[in-house]
Amino acid sequence: MTTTPSLVPGCMQNITPLLGRLLIAALFIPAGIHKITGFAGVSGYMAAKGLPFPDFLLVLTIIIELGGGILILIGWRAREAALIIALFLIPVTVVFHAFWSFDDAQAMAAEQRVFMKNIGIMGGLFVMAGLGAGPLSIDQRNSP
């Protein structure tokens, strides 16, 4: 089996998955914390979007964002956490960033940017779910 030479130095191949995990965690951990500190407001927003059982769904969201973000940060069960967050983002993105439902062009464009940002985040999470957390992770240390 031949390998394609990489322009990325070996040390960067170890560091870049860690950097990716840090950046993804930097998005989801604060989002989970924000939902805890602003529970009533976020629950009300979810109810206004027509979601049933908003308090229950919000607790589930906090577990996914905060818990999943922490797992990704430390690199333990990162594949599973990344997959769960990516799958979670599918309905969240469709329900909360339905840009096609806006009449105002500026609001539509803003929501479309957030929608596409979430699509990109899902892409990164699916890559992590497939390839793992990288060499500088608890998952890697526990590998046989």
- Cα separation, 70 vs 77, in Å, equals 10
* Domain boundaries defined on the chain: 20-133
Give the pLDDT mean for 75-81.
97
What does the mean pLDDT of the chain come to?
94
pTM listed for this prediction: 0.91
The stretches of the chain forming alpha helices (DSSP H) are 10-37, 39-48, 54-62, 68-74, 78-96, 105-131, 138-141
Per-residue model confidence as pLDDT tens digits over 15-43: 999 999 999 999 999 999 999 999 999 99
Res 8: pLDDT: 75
- Cα separation, 138 vs 73, in Å, equals 10
- Cα separation, 111 vs 114, in Å, equals 5
